Amino acid sequence: MSSIASVGTHNVDHHGEHGHHHESFWTKYVFSQDHKMIAKQFLITGIVMAVFAMILSILFRMQLAWPDKEFPILEVFLGKWAEGGRINPEFFLALVTIHGTIMVFFVLTAGLSGTFANLLIPYQLGARDMASPFMNMLSYWFFLGACVVMISSFFIESGPASAGWTIYPPLSAIPKAIPGSGLGMTLWLASMVMFIISQVLGGTNYISTVLNLRTKGMDLWKMPLTVWALFLTAIVGLLSFPVLVSAVVLLIFDRSFGTSFYLSDLVVQGQILPNEGGSPILFQHLFWFLGHPEVYIVLMPALGLTSEVISTNSRKPIFGYHAMVYSLIGITVLSFIVWGHHMFVTGMNPFLGGVFMITTLIIAVPSAVKSFNYLATLWRGNIRFTPAMLFAIGMVSFFISGGLTGLYVGNSALDINLHDTYFVVAHFHLVMGSASIFGMLCGVYHWYPKMFGRMMNEKLGYLHFWLTFVGAYFVFFPMHFMGIDGVPRRYYAFTEFPFMEKWVSVNIFITWSAIIAGLGQIAFIWNFFASMRFGKVATQNPWGANTLEWTTPVKHIHGNWPGEIPTVYRWPYDYSKPGHHEDFIPQTVPFSETMSSNLPHDFEGNVEAERIQREWELANAAAQPEKERE
């Protein structure tokens, strides 16, 4: 455990000299094929990227709040991009672009499902490791490569990509239109191709592990919701990410080899370009064919993690396990046929827009079911407010309040006025940004003992939660109103329009909230890294949870379980079962050991087991008055 604190830095800049370490260092910490270590690598890289992207967001928030003020210190760090202490408009767009790209892809896709799929799929299914550990390692290294290439674009002359995270051509295809579309965009595209390779390698692995390596007794309907969510996420990713590759490759052709897939009829700054016959709308279709499922790639793992955490800490089974799974499946399927709702006013055939609106609003039904089920799980629970639980509740809150505004932007008629305004920014930052990052943080707090064998400081966790929770609402809630007023997103300053002047004071409020919430993350970073070394040593099952990962020893061993892999007998949510002396029954406990609490439907129609149970109940009728009442 001693050198893990420094592993984080090794992972990020792996060119340091570490020759003096003992021999196994490289295989143990760097080129590890062990799913637990890869999960930690993903997590720490994800955290580093998140901090980086958060700093970018603070920078552009400062510009929005104080458009006329000079911050000479910025010039020290940013040089010509902040000449005279004011961020220039093109660099502002670069900040927005890279913030979005890093947060969506590197933090909430790789950092979230990369970490928890790697950690939990083998653990919760009772597997020794992933189906293909080598591919798993490659997946991380491609991801790290993608991160390095993306960040390196800050160190080139023309600056990073700045066409928005959606990189719509022709803006992203023509360096003349914006400097960021030069080498910066090439790096963006290269980084994204590496990232997708990483996702495909990872996704294949997750799916094959879930399908093939479940332990004895672990049928699909006994899998925890986390694994269901991660499994379905991997399927969505595997089907949609390759489409982004095609979009990216065609864009590379347009940029570098003079093709015209996306370009037509262009006169850029007086120069007539030869491209003819392409369509920018084609790119948008390809992009959003990934882009929308991507939203669910980001969200579904968060839903899975919180389901598990809410159930464990409410000491209650998750309400409607089957409904939860079916709604995840529903979201998975529907997520592929709603992409057009990003394109209502882009010139796509309006009839198609109408169709996409119908599919979009249908997807709200499974989402609504999920949030009702969360509430029903909390109802009459015995709720332990661990930091993980707080973040899970926060996640449900964001999921509700951000999901509801989806009814506005998903409605093509209302979207006319809200498209590309701050309303959209508010909507997706709540439902996809905040909800997912809360899901991720909830997961980190909950599974930290499993990852590092120590507990995090819960008081710092509380501080972190309340600062972040309140901060996120303060930042994003007022943005809805700016959007209703018609303030478009990605505006460098609100100074050029009289009707936007009233929002400057709101912007100052938002920026201060963002800064304070951002500083609140220090509580997390400190807690995370310091607890690796100084946290209380964890017990084997600190939360009293049912799933398999808590049956492994605290100290990590290769292959997870020292002896045989445990067999699974029951579903993972037997919390507070009446008749049992404890308020949880792990999945590995056979029904023969819990005769006093078995219920008829536990046996799934096994006549022999039901007979044995009946006989036992008759024999023990006198001793079980409590059971009778049920």
Partner 1 sequence: MGFIKSSKLKTVWILAFVVGIALVGRAFAQETDTTATQTVDTATAVADTATAADTAGDVAPVSPDTVTAAVPAAKADKPAAAAAEDAGPNIDPQVYKNFFYGLLLVFLICVLVGVIGKIIQVYELTRRMNGKDTTYYLYNFNAVLFLVALVLGLYGVYWSYVHHGGQSFRAAVTEHGQQIDTMFIITTIICTIVLVVMHIGLFSFAYIYRARPTRKAYFYPHNNTIEKIWTITPAIVLTILVLFGFFTWRGITNVPEEDQKNALHIEVVGEQFTWTVRYPGRDGQLGERNYRLTTPLNGLGMDFNDKKNWDDQLGSEIVLPVNKPVRVQIGSKDILHSFYMPDFRVQMNAVPGMKTYFQFTPTVTTEEMRDRLGDYKYDFVMLCAKICGGGHYNMQKKVRIVTEEEYQAWLNEQPYFFTEDLRKEFKMSQATQTADEPAQERLLANVHE
Looking at residues 319 to 338 of the shown chain, list those that interact with partner 1 (rule: CB under 8 A). 319-323
One of 156, 220, 413, 619 touching partner 1 (CB under 8 A): 413
**HEC readout, 431-486:** HHHHHHHHHHHHHHHHHHHHHHCECCCHHHHHHHHHHHHHHHHHHHHHHHHHHHHC
One of 25, 485, 554, 616 touching partner 1 (CB under 8 A): 485
* 204 sits near partner 1 (criterion: CB under 8 A): no
One of 27, 55, 69, 76 touching partner 1 (CB under 8 A): 76
CB of 211 or CB of 268, closer to partner 1? 268
Question: How does DSSP assign 238-261, residue by residue?
Answer: HHHHHHHHHHHHHHHHHHHS---S
* 287 sits near partner 1 (criterion: CB under 8 A): no
The CA distance from 547 to 315, in Å, is 13
What minimum distance in Å lies between the beta carbon of 297 and partner 1? Answer: 24
What minimum distance in Å lies between the beta carbon of 569 and partner 1? Answer: 16
CB of 133 or CB of 486, closer to partner 1? 486
* 221 sits near partner 1 (criterion: CB under 8 A): no
Cβ neighbors of 299 (< 8 A, separation 6 or more) are 399, 431, 432, 435, 436, 439
What minimum distance in Å lies between the beta carbon of 410 and partner 1? Answer: 9
One of 31, 66, 462, 561 touching partner 1 (CB under 8 A): 462
CB of 165 or CB of 561, closer to partner 1? 165
For 570, which DSSP code?
S
Cβ neighbors of 379 (< 8 A, separation 6 or more) are 319
One of 225, 396, 431, 548 touching partner 1 (CB under 8 A): 396
What minimum distance in Å lies between the beta carbon of 66 and partner 1? Answer: 15
What minimum distance in Å lies between the beta carbon of 376 and partner 1? Answer: 7
One of 43, 47, 82, 93 touching partner 1 (CB under 8 A): 93
For residues 62-81, one letter each, b for 16 or more C-beta atoms within 10 angstroms of the residue's C-beta and e for the rest, the string is bbbbbbeeebeebbeebeeb
* 30 sits near partner 1 (criterion: CB under 8 A): no
* 25 sits near partner 1 (criterion: CB under 8 A): no
Looking at residues 560 to 619 of the shown chain, list those that interact with partner 1 (rule: CB under 8 A). 573, 575-578, 583
Looking at residues 103 to 132 of the shown chain, list those that interact with partner 1 (rule: CB under 8 A). none
* 460 sits near partner 1 (criterion: CB under 8 A): yes
Record the tokens describing residue 364, joined without a space.
């709200």
* 261 sits near partner 1 (criterion: CB under 8 A): no
The CA distance from 196 to 48, in Å, is 20
Q: Are 553 and 535 in contact (CB under 8 A)?
A: no
Looking at residues 504 to 563 of the shown chain, list those that interact with partner 1 (rule: CB under 8 A). 506, 519, 522-523, 526, 530, 533-534
Cβ neighbors of 148 (< 8 A, separation 6 or more) are none
Cβ neighbors of 22 (< 8 A, separation 6 or more) are none
Looking at residues 338 to 367 of the shown chain, list those that interact with partner 1 (rule: CB under 8 A). 345-347, 350-351, 353-354, 357-358, 361-362, 364-365
SS3 state at 127: coil
CB of 375 or CB of 621, closer to partner 1? 375
CA proximity to 294, closest of 346, 331, 335: 335
Looking at residues 142 to 171 of the shown chain, list those that interact with partner 1 (rule: CB under 8 A). 163-164, 168-171
Cβ neighbors of 342 (< 8 A, separation 6 or more) are 284, 288, 291, 292
